[in-house]
Amino acid sequence: MNVRSLLFGLMMLVWGNSLQGQEVSRGRLGILLGGMNGVSYDYALTNHLELGGTAAFVLGLGYGGSSKSFQFGGLTPLLELAPRYYFSRQEGDRLFYKGGYLSLRLGAQIDDWTLFPSKAVRESNVKSHYTLGMAPTFGWSFPLSEKSALRLGIGFLFYRSKRSYAGDSYYAGQSYWEKTHRLSDAPFLLDIAYSIAL
């Protein structure tokens, strides 16, 4: 399945659900803590579908294949838009959806503005400037109280990253695009967020 088919299928799902004439939509402003730290706004389109927007700092944690160790990359600013389709109905007056969901996370990350970059990032001969990403995600949402919820998910990240060479190499100053070419190259992306409704 290619990316265009996936996007077209998601758009048809959104359009079909919005035509069902279900109860009035509702929005929710909140604070995110965890893998993403910032603010979010989730808007319920139907009993199953919500659209989420996020402005946050992403906690850069990863597992290095060559070093065989966990690495910290810093806190990087991110803007994200994520339609989510929940399999279970939203019942009653609950603020948060409960149960399994499918999502398509679309984000733009500004790597040049990373706070507290690690020594490995600072001394690298390759500098990343910004990254555009798309991550089909499956997960589960757990309302913890009337005003809080925990969301856990996992997906594959397809990205395009603008990078340039630094240092004294022959290619210093030259920029290029690095991108995901196939599913086997796509890294796992975790969706771990604790939401508090304001």
pLDDT at position 174 is 79
* 32 vs 23, residue with greater confidence: 32
Query: Which domain CATH number covers 83?
Result: 2.40.160
pLDDT at position 90 is 57
95 domain residue, yes or no: yes
Range(s) of the domain holding residue 193: 3-116+132-160+188-197
51 domain residue, yes or no: yes
**What percent of the chain is modeled with pLDDT above 90?**
26
* CA-to-CA dists, residue 153 to 3, 86, 101, 113, 141, angstroms: 20, 13, 9, 26, 8
54 domain residue, yes or no: yes
pLDDT at position 22 is 44
pLDDT digits (tens, 9 = 90+) for 29-65: 888 887 788 999 988 888 888 899 999 998 876 665 5
Helix (H) or strand (E) holding 14: helix 3-18
Q: How many CB atoms lie within 10 A of CB 95?
A: 18
Amino acid at 90: Q
Q: How far apart are CA 190 and CA 78, in angstroms?
A: 15
178 domain residue, yes or no: no
Residue 30, SS3 per DSSP: strand
Q: How confident is the model at residue 136 (pLDDT cuts 50, 70, 90)?
A: very high
125 domain residue, yes or no: no
148 domain residue, yes or no: yes
Pairing status of strand 126-145 against strand 175-179: unpaired
170 domain residue, yes or no: no
177 domain residue, yes or no: no
Res 179 pLDDT > 90: no
pLDDT digits (tens, 9 = 90+) for 66-99: 556 677 778 999 999 999 999 886 554 567 778 8
Q: How many domains does the chain have?
A: 1
CB 154 within 8 A of CB 190: yes
Q: How large is the average pLDDT for residues 105-115?
A: 92
Q: How large is the average pLDDT for residues 101-115?
A: 92
